[in-house]
Amino acid sequence: MAGHHLRDVIGRLMIDLSWASSKLEGNTYSRLDTENLIRFGKVAEGKDLIETQMILNHKAAIELIAEAPEEIGYDSYTFLNLHALLSDNLMADPAASGRLRRRPVDIGGSVYTPPAIPQRIEDNFRTILDKAGRIPELYLDGALVGARPS
């Protein structure tokens, strides 16, 4: 019973998170279209293939986290693999998938300019991972969810 319930929760999470995350990126799939794609492999009519790929990529990333939680950590291996899954078939340069950015980018509609020097990007990435890795416990809405494995 618990196994079935857990699979159901993960299935709903996969649909909701894939839909919401894709929507943030400008994806026009509805929640129902997202559910039909994830549960039944049914591509929504009239939608761009990039939108379909984006949702399938979110599904793959969630599956990685859900199916191998003991292998997930605040480390470059985890984050670069998640990046590879999330960006699969979506990058202009396929070799950029799963690695840190090596070229300058602009963020449309923003005055913010992200760092452009590869060494600085890598240093910032390592600093964030180091700080995240030092957080001893995980809290959600003030309640302890679980201690990090040592």
Is residue 44 within 8 A of residue 27, CB to CB? The reply is no
Query: What is residue 5's predicted lDDT score, i.e. its pLDDT?
Result: 80
Query: What is residue 2's predicted lDDT score, i.e. its pLDDT?
Result: 56
Q: How many CA atoms lie within 13 A of 51 on its CB side?
A: 19
Query: What is residue 66's predicted lDDT score, i.e. its pLDDT?
Result: 85
Tally the residues of the chain.
150
CB-CB neighbours of 47 under 10 Å: 16
pLDDT in tens, the chain (150 residues): 557 787 888 889 899 999 999 999 999 999 999 999 999 999 999 999 999 999 999 999 999 988 888 888 889 999 999 999 999 999 999 999 999 999 999 888 999 999 999 999 999 999 999 998 887 766 556 665 555 555
Query: What is residue 138's predicted lDDT score, i.e. its pLDDT?
Result: 60
Is residue 18 within 8 A of residue 66, CB to CB? The reply is no
- Tokens 């319930």 found at: 5
Query: What is residue 30's predicted lDDT score, i.e. its pLDDT?
Result: 97
Question: Coil, strand, or helix at residue 139?
Answer: strand
Question: Coil, strand, or helix at residue 41?
Answer: coil
Closest CA to 72 of 133, 19, 113: 133
